Structure 1
Amino acid sequence: MDAKRLLVFGSIILAIIGGLTFFSPQLQKKEEGSAGKPMVSVSTFSLWEVANAVAGDGIDVHSIVPLGSDAHMFAPNPSQVAEISDSAMFIYNGAGFEMWAESLTHTLPKTTQILDMSQHVALQKSEEEHHDEAEDGDAHHDEHANHDHGAYDPHYWLDIDNMIKMTQVMDGEFSKLLPVKAEQFHKNALTYIAELQKLKLEFSTGLAECKNRTLISNHDAFGYLAHANRLENVSVIGLSSDEQPSAQTVAHVVEVVKEHRMKTIFFEELINDNVSQTIAKETGAKAVALQPLENISEDELKSRQTYLTIMRENLKKLREAMECR
């Protein structure tokens, strides 16, 4: 074989070896790992929304709870636990909302940073806790101190001020996780906070003058929304969506509805609305779905629904039910 043919043959062999090396799964995985984005796993929809708003295209945000499921009743399977373990950061709601997360955090590797968001927002005590304190004459508790399960209402994202705080916290945490993108994260956070402040103004003006200021629902998920907008919150069941109300509780709610001549009873989307429907039949009121944003359905995601759009839909329903001007 002459020198020219040897040169061509050698070039072909080198090209084949180079191609095999380029398409090697092991090498591709290494390249993706070095050039890829850090992964952050979150538990609830509100955390997922804020994380995406702040991260932009800088971080890969994964939601652990499946779309359309009751977030209260969720427990991760082994593959979901593995996904959390592989994440650079795990952010969960806290305040007793995800009972599974509390124990899981003790088993995660040191490479996974853990953020309990409830430690960074303004919490309010559950109705049951307020009642117990009134009876016992208990002293003032620090809102930001560590808390027991059930002592605080975990639905804090329905107070828009808390959503703003959550955005600020993620801005800081993501900037420490990926300093090279800090400026982008901060810009994204400011943009989202501006949208939240606009939403807050819409609620305060939209619910300023209403004929009725009582919000009755089947599940005590709307305490923060009620408190932030000076509404009276009456729920048939407590903070856990699988709780069964007593006949006495149902009878009391029926009495309140009739006394105030209320025309609407709200029930939480994604959980059973039998109790609200029963009360509606007994009182002549209508049952209307209100979205507490613990999770969203697949249809809502496909139609590009967000915290902002769903909260505006909630506001529309509240204004109609409470006959606001």
Structure 2
Amino acid sequence: MLKRVTMLFVSAIFCVSIAGCDKKATSTEDSEKIQVVASFHAVKEITTLVGGDKVDIVSIVPSGTEAHDFEPKASDIKRIAGADIFIYNGLGMEEWVDDALNSAQNSELQIINLSKSSDLIKLSDEEQNHVDMEDTSENKEDHKHGEYDPHIWLSIKEVEKSILTIKDKLVEEDPENKSYYEENYNKNVKRLQDIYEEYKAKFDGLNNKSFIAGHEAFGYLCRDFSLKQIGVEDAFASGDPSPAKLKALVDYVKENKVKTIFSEEAASSKISDTLAKEVGATVKPLVTFENSGSYIDDMRKNLDIIYEGIK
């Protein structure tokens, strides 16, 4: 409820500030580039794979900030109001999007929800319940995430679909640069496919296809490479270790001689550290692309860390 009130207050301030102005007045008038606003860094990086230097792109959520918890400021709404295209992940990652778009009052805005072109993974009832327990916000009843895994940007195969969707929209909005967008699309799909083929061969050669992570964010990546993730957080769902689940994890780690437990680079590794200390393993951070960095370089880095950790 508090977030909704805050959003309405921001909307009121913004509406007063742009009264009598149209979209053109809020955009960069002398810029010939397509104005794109992305919800958070991963979406920005994926878009840049196609848009390159023909688009002006900014992300709304600052690096290091959870997209779930973010609350847009009036300046963020103004950016959306002045954009040609707004691109977001969907599936509840950005719960502020509907209110922000309504506040922006940009009837010409083209909107891309990347999850609409994705092959989604439906979460189990237990996984959905875990998502609900993680959510302690006051407007929990308004949240729409939980039915499907939202982490589509962590999959090479899903990102291939995302950049096709983005490419088609950029060509529609900026047909004069069609060949540029198509060249970037083809080049980067090839780069993604090369990485996929390289690591598919590596993972296929392993007997062990399972890894332990602090948070089960890598379901789509696991599907890409026929891997299995085991989440440490399930043993700590209420904040304190569940003795039965913690024992099962410890037994699994010892029986399978697990030497590496993975955490998320931008998140606390406290839970992973607890298990690692219990079994004498090391903790390696994986990138979730929500901070600064190149998408393709960071994807290769993640796959290499996972491969080296489980081989």
- TM-score, normalised relative to structure 1: 0.76
Give yes or no for contact 1:70–1:270 (8 Å, CA) kept in 2. Answer: no
Task: Name the CA shift for 1:237/1:108 in 2 (closer, same or farther; >3 Å).
Answer: farther
8 A Cα contact 1:89 1:112, kept in partner: yes
> C-alpha distance in 2, partners of 1:267/1:32?
41
Aligned to 1:264: 260
Equivalent positions of 1:284-323 (< 5 A) are: 284-293=280-289, 295-296=290-291, 301=292, 305-323=293-311
What's the CA shift for 1:119?
0.5
Contact 2:154 2:288 in 1 (8 A): yes
> Aligned-residue CA RMSD in angstroms?
2.6
Deviation at 1:34, TM superposition (A): 4.7
Match runs of 1:119-134 below 5 Å: 119-128=116-125
Q: Which moved more, 1:70-79 or 1:122-131?
A: 122-131
1: CA distance, partners of 2:124 / 2:101: 28
Q: Shift in Å at residue 96 of structure 1?
A: 1.1
Q: Deviations over 1:246-270 (max 9, x none)?
A: 5214443233222322111100011
Question: 76, 80, 92: which one pairs with 2:88?
Answer: 92
Equivalent position of 2:71 in the other structure: 75
- Which residue in the other structure is 1:117 paired with? 114
Amino acid at match of 1:174: L
Determine helix, strand or coil for the equivalent of 1:76: coil
Count matched residues.
Answer: 270
Alignment of 1:154-303 (within 5 A): 154-237=150-233, 245-248=239-242, 249-293=245-289, 295-296=290-291, 301=292
SS in 2 for 1:105: helix
Matching residue of 1:141: none
Question: 1:119 is aligned with what amino acid?
Answer: K
For 2:232 and 2:93, the matched residues in 1 are separated by 19
Identity rate, percent? 31
Aligned to 2:13: none
Provide the TM-score with structure 2 as the length reference. 0.79
Q: 1:235 to 1:130 in 2, by over 3 A?
A: closer
Q: Which amino acid aligns with 1:95?
A: L
Residues 6-46 of structure 1 show CA distances to partners (whole Å, capped at 9, x for unaligned) of: xxxxxxxxxxxxxxxxxxxxxxx999615532211001333
1:88 and 1:243 mapped to 2: Cα distance? Answer: 42
SS in 2 for 1:219: coil
Distance (Å, rounded) in 2 between the aligned partners of 1:149 and 1:115 = 18
Show structure 2 runs of 5+ residues with no match. 1-24, 130-142
Partner of 1:9: none
* Per-residue deviation, 1:211: 3.8
Q: 3-state DSSP class of the match of 2:268?
A: coil
Contact kept, 8 Å, 2:84 with 2:110, in 1: the verdict is yes
* Matched residue SS, 1:247: coil
CA drift at 1:72: 3.4
Looking at CA atoms only, which structure, 1 or 2, has the larger radius of gyration?
1
The residue type paired with residue 115 of structure 1 is I
2:217 corresponds to which letter in structure 1? A
